[in-house]
Structure 1
Amino acid sequence: MTPEELAAVRCDLEDFAADVFEPFARVDQRRWGGVYLRGLLLDGQRKSVEPMAARLGEDGNRQALAHFITSSPWDPVHVRARLAWKMQDAIRPTALIIDDTGFLKDGEASACVARQYTGTAGKVTNCQVGVSLHLASDHASAAIDWRLFLPETWDASSPKADPAKVARRTKCGIPAGAGHVEKWQLALDMIDETRSWGLDIPLAIADAGYGDATAFRLGLQERGLPYVVGISSRVTAHLGSAVPSVPHYSGSGRPPTARYPDPAQSVKQLVIDAGRDAAKGVQWREGSRPGSGRSGLKRMYGRFVALRVRPAGREIRKAVDGPELPACWLLAQWPASEPEPVQFWLSDLPPHTALTTLVRLAKLRWRIEHDYREMKQALGLAHFEGRTWAGWHHHVTLVSAAHAFCTLQRLARAPKEAAPA
């Protein structure tokens, strides 16, 4: 960058910080919020307090930065709401994406650390897990809300409570009312929270970790929020054309339950029964690597099957009035080189929805991986070394702010000048 361009970026950052940190009650909180934000954006391998303080020059007051991020009494929700309003205008989101990411830890002292599965490591390991919610469109995305997942071992009311972990709750500053809540419920809570900020997002997207939970899909339906969610191959359903039979009822005793003539099958089997010839080729976007697309980039292309189905299961049956289970879309990716389909989604978008639309929305989830990569590799998302509940929420909120600033800078440039964070 030229000196003039660098000065313009600094001015943009000052304006951005003044807007995002406007809810802070005290001048010193606004000051250290801006300093911490600068520390996250400066080059450097570690983005924890001590190395950031060393890079910040005269603003590098380690003690003040540590106090601001760990124990200063500011509410991250206010900052997240400001970010959400700002990024909604910039991104013009088509969807809300829900996912979670792991924060690997060596010790046991940090809030909510436990041996648990995380896709970050691809295995069960010692970590924290954060659930996040992102605004997304085809050209940009931004994290706007977070929850720290509290495992059952940290919940005194759980049969799986670990006395040593429960005893650490006070030292970690975990609120007395915080208990174990499933990740899909945390996601629904965040959707409710963002709607209370005035955001109106037309669609929810999530992977199979959320889509497999029938209660999550029902929760989205109760909120009137359409979805495209990944599912595992073992989810069961009837074909959309299936019609239940209602046994004759004489009027005495409990009425008989309507039944489908054939048992529900796995979604994988339904797609296999439809046959390989049912798969159609779809290009959903162009990637970032050189290739044969119109812009000279690699085409993102695959073969997909779309079927109308009726998901089965006890939870769905309890939630339905009437004999018929509701119909929705089953989308499956079936590569020409594979003997069977490899990935599956459910969507309650209307029956007339085009295959290309279903595929584009299902594949929009790649934006969340893009966000996690930038926030972890460039902005220190997983570098927080504090051990408190409040400190974790403060840090991830400020990393989200730094990522949002980088996104705004990219959007403001010409496409040929756009660069990673």
Structure 2
Amino acid sequence: MSGGTSVEETLELWARSLRSAKDRMAPLFTQKRVVDSACAFLDVLIGNEPRKTGWMRAEAAGDPGPWRQQALLGRGHWDADALRDVVRDYVIEHLGTEEGVLVIDETGFLKKGQASCGVGRQYTGSAGKITNCQIGVFGAYVSERGHAFIDRALYLPKDWTSKPERLKRAHVPDDVVFATKPALASMMIERSIEAGVPFRWVAADSVYGVGDVERTLRRAGIGYVLGVKGNHWFGSWATEPLIAGEAKDIAAGLPDQAWRRLSAGHVTKGERLYDWAYLPLADLDAEEFDCPIAGPWTRGLLIRRNIADGDLAYFTTWSPKGTTTQELVNVEGTRWRIEEGFETAKNEWGWHR
């Protein structure tokens, strides 16, 4: 073990941490038997079973069948948002730094039938096509200490929110109304700010690149690297030469010297190297947009080019003036952490079940 820590000491640390996590969530459940079921459910989730269906979880927990866990997840009365807050606070206690990044992304859960809440025919990147699924929007906290999910929201299409009886059958709270995915992301960002989550940046893909999320972050004085489509229009002022046009056309006109090969982070196979171009477009003083962080901020365009095939990706950026290209690249590079989280959750915890 690194740092001279023995296997026994490491196992005791894990056991102590798990007991602490259980103690934090126990007050959310009113009866001891429900607490026991919740703790057993957690034990099974982090266990070694390769598949975690209801029956397999029950067997691992020592139950005669899946009914206790089904009752916990389906019929039990406990506050899921309160549990979310417990998890968030635990994550920040252990991983929080002032340089943290909040990463927003979505994933799909393939489903059959029409009964599951929010299910419908919609596009999901998980399958790469329009299919019958649920869509969840997630927030993950990333820092040099690690990364973990801290928020989530189920996206409800208009085909659901326009049908009160359907919502009622799925036990959706009465105050839930239609919200776009960027609106859900903005609510997550605002919750994190109100809870005192320490983060300087937000990173997200092109679903969240314009509108609600940008406005929320600018007002809060938080920088961002948000994906946009190739046809997104960018314009500059007070630059020489002036820049104006769609992102893909701006990229096509860049000279070779505008590109720099930089790493977006280290993975098991090595550095994630791409060619990058960064174009500062305009400087605005914080007073002009009621930002609490004084001084000039820079709006910019960041472009990523795949070394192997030349494929391009585009990002709108907002950062304190003087932020380097490498800093922006580092922020964009945190996005793969949430993808890693989705993969782990679906493979190890049975999210796709």
Give the TM-score category using the shorter length.
0.7 to 0.9
Please tell me whether the aligned partners of residues 237 and 310 of structure 1 are also in contact (alpha carbons under 8 angstroms): no
Look up the match of 1:237: 234
- Aligned positions of 1:327-346 closer than 5 A: 328-335=299-306, 342-346=312-316
The match for 1:222 among 208, 219, 222 is 219
The match for 2:19 among 14, 18, 27 is 14
Q: What is the distance in 1 between the residues matched to 2:197 and 2:8?
A: 38
Look up the match of 1:28: 33
The match for 2:275 among 303, 316, 335 is 303
Structure 1 residues 196, 49: CA separation in 2 closer, same or farther (over 3 Å shift)? farther
- Aligned positions of 1:61-210 closer than 5 A: 62-93=66-97, 94-156=100-162, 167-210=165-208
TM-score by length of 2: 0.86
Higher strand proportion, which one? 2
Q: What is the distance in 2 between the residues matched to 1:113 and 1:107?
A: 8
The amino acid of 1:33's aligned partner reads A
The match for 1:277 among 254, 257, 267 is 257
Gaps of 5+ in 2: 1-5, 291-296
Q: What is the distance in 1 between the residues matched to 2:57 and 2:179?
A: 34
Structure 1 residues 42, 192: CA separation in 2 closer, same or farther (over 3 Å shift)? same
Q: CA deviation at 1:286?
A: 2.2
Please tell me whether the aligned partners of residues 283 and 301 of structure 1 are also in contact (alpha carbons under 8 angstroms): yes
Q: CA deviation at 1:171?
A: 2.0
Look up the match of 2:326: 356
Q: What is the distance in 1 between the residues matched to 2:243 and 2:329?
A: 28
Higher relative contact order (CA 8 A, sep 6+): 1
Q: Which has the larger radius of gyration?
A: 1
Structure 1 residues 240, 365: CA separation in 2 closer, same or farther (over 3 Å shift)? farther
The amino acid of 2:268's aligned partner reads S
Look up the match of 2:45: 40
Q: CA deviation at 1:207?
A: 0.7
Please tell me whether the aligned partners of residues 101 and 118 of structure 1 are also in contact (alpha carbons under 8 angstroms): yes
Structure 1 SS opposite 2:134: strand
The amino acid of 1:270's aligned partner reads I
Please tell me whether the aligned partners of residues 140 and 367 of structure 1 are also in contact (alpha carbons under 8 angstroms): no
Structure 2 SS opposite 1:174: coil
Structure 2 SS opposite 1:43: coil
Q: What is the distance in 2 between the residues matched to 1:90 and 1:11?
A: 14
Q: CA deviation at 1:89?
A: 2.4
Structure 2 SS opposite 1:198: coil
Look up the match of 1:56: 61
Structure 1 residues 2, 185: CA separation in 2 closer, same or farther (over 3 Å shift)? same
TM-score by length of 1: 0.73
Please tell me whether the aligned partners of residues 237 and 267 of structure 1 are also in contact (alpha carbons under 8 angstroms): yes
Structure 2 SS opposite 1:32: helix
Structure 1 residues 30, 237: CA separation in 2 closer, same or farther (over 3 Å shift)? same
Structure 2 SS opposite 1:106: coil
Q: What is the distance in 1 between the residues matched to 2:282 and 2:211?
A: 13
Look up the match of 2:3: none
Gaps of 5+ in 1: 244-260, 290-297, 312-318, 384-421
Q: CA deviation at 1:41?
A: 1.9
Structure 1 residues 4, 363: CA separation in 2 closer, same or farther (over 3 Å shift)? closer
Q: What is the distance in 2 between the residues matched to 1:64 and 1:288?
A: 40
Q: CA deviation at 1:199?
A: 1.9
- C-alpha RMSD of matched pairs (Å): 2.8
